[in-house]
Amino acid sequence: MPSENPIDISVVIPARDEADNLPPLLDEIHAALAGQSYEIIVIDDGSTDGSDSLLAQRMQQDARLRTVRNEKSLGKSAGVYMGARLARGRLIMALDGDGQDDPAFIPAMLAALDGDDVGLAAGQRINRRDTWQKRIGSKIANAVRRWMLGDDTRDTGCGFKAFRRDAFLDLPYFDTMHRFLPALFLTDGWKVAHVDVVNRPRLHGTSKYGIVDRLMAGLPDLFGVSWIRRRRRGNPMPRLRELER
């Protein structure tokens, strides 16, 4: 659980085998959030490329950096959820560790959370720098998801998302939940803002996700989230927090 002395923003980065991409990414995050109260939490998801040693060295020089290592990979949703649970910030800024999410867009993502009724700011990639197979697969998956869930989000697979920590932790956790955050926030009565973000090419390493494995993992959960959208009649947690003040 988060410790005392809360701060404003917690940047959460789930990363597996991204040792070459993390140092410049961390530097860019510091530049984007200069002058703000923030921390960075990297969830090292079972990396075998020396990420743990690199992050341990960075932590010695960087008081804002915290890291947690999973001995085996638990997946992106687990990484985001673990980071949010450990965070001290009231706002969470989640982005991937591969460097394709440009931290220069962090201020715009956080600004989109203005207003008490906006729970999630979802990045939507433009000028995607992935292979044509991944782009086509993503378009098909997003079209089916929008039709089934009505979340009006064209790119839910983008890992660049800002959200209210308390609202996120009220959501039902399950593997692959990161792909369904707009629908889940809408179901709990929050508004979702969308922010166009530039997608950068991956400079080092390879993607950890393929088209087939994403499809096989996502299809059962798509039907599950559709059921949740029909059956979850609002979330009592916001009202309970009111009563507990």
Which range of 28-42, 201-215, 228-242 scores highest in mean pLDDT? It is 28-42
Least confident of 35-39, 57-61, 114-118, 215-219: 215-219
Q: What is the mean pLDDT of residues 59-78?
A: 95
Contact 205, 97 (CB under 8 A): no
Bridge partner list, 122: 161, 194
Mean pLDDT across the chain, nearest whole number? Answer: 84
Angle at 205 between CA 158 and CA 123, to 5 degrees: 10
Of the pLDDT bands very low, low, confident and very high (cuts 50, 70, 90), residue 2 is very low
Q: What is the mean pLDDT of residues 213-242?
A: 66
Of the pLDDT bands very low, low, confident and very high (cuts 50, 70, 90), residue 38 is very high
Angle at 126 between CA 188 and CA 24, to 5 degrees: 95
Contact 74, 60 (CB under 8 A): no
From CA 64, how far away is CA 24, in angstroms rounded?
Answer: 16
Grouping H, G, I as helix, E, B as strand and the rest as coil, residue 72 is: coil
Grouping H, G, I as helix, E, B as strand and the rest as coil, residue 104 is: helix
- Summarised one tens digit per residue, pLDDT across range 163-219 is 999 999 999 999 889 989 999 999 888 999 999 999 887 877 666 555 455 555 566
Q: Is 69 exposed, middle or buried (0-12, 13-18, 19+ CB in 10 A)?
A: middle
From CA 235, how far away is CA 242, in angstroms rounded?
Answer: 13
Of the pLDDT bands very low, low, confident and very high (cuts 50, 70, 90), residue 1 is very low
Domains defined for the chain, CATH in brackets: 7-244 (3.90.550.10)
The percent of residues in the chain predicted with pLDDT above 70, rounded, is: 76
- Summarised one tens digit per residue, pLDDT across range 73-86 is 999 999 999 999 99
Of the pLDDT bands very low, low, confident and very high (cuts 50, 70, 90), residue 236 is low
Residue 61: CB atoms within 10 A of its CB come to 7
Nearest alpha-carbon partner for 136 in 189, 214, 59, 36: 214
pLDDT at 243 over 70: yes
* Full DSSP string of 155-212: -TT---EEEEHHHHHTSPP-TTGGGGHHHHHHHTT-EEEEEEEEBPPP-SS--S--HH
Grouping H, G, I as helix, E, B as strand and the rest as coil, residue 92 is: strand
In this predicted structure, what is the pLDDT of residue 63? Answer: 95
pLDDT at 7 over 80: yes
- Summarised one tens digit per residue, pLDDT across range 105-155 is 999 999 999 878 999 999 998 876 555 555 555 565 666 666 566 677 778
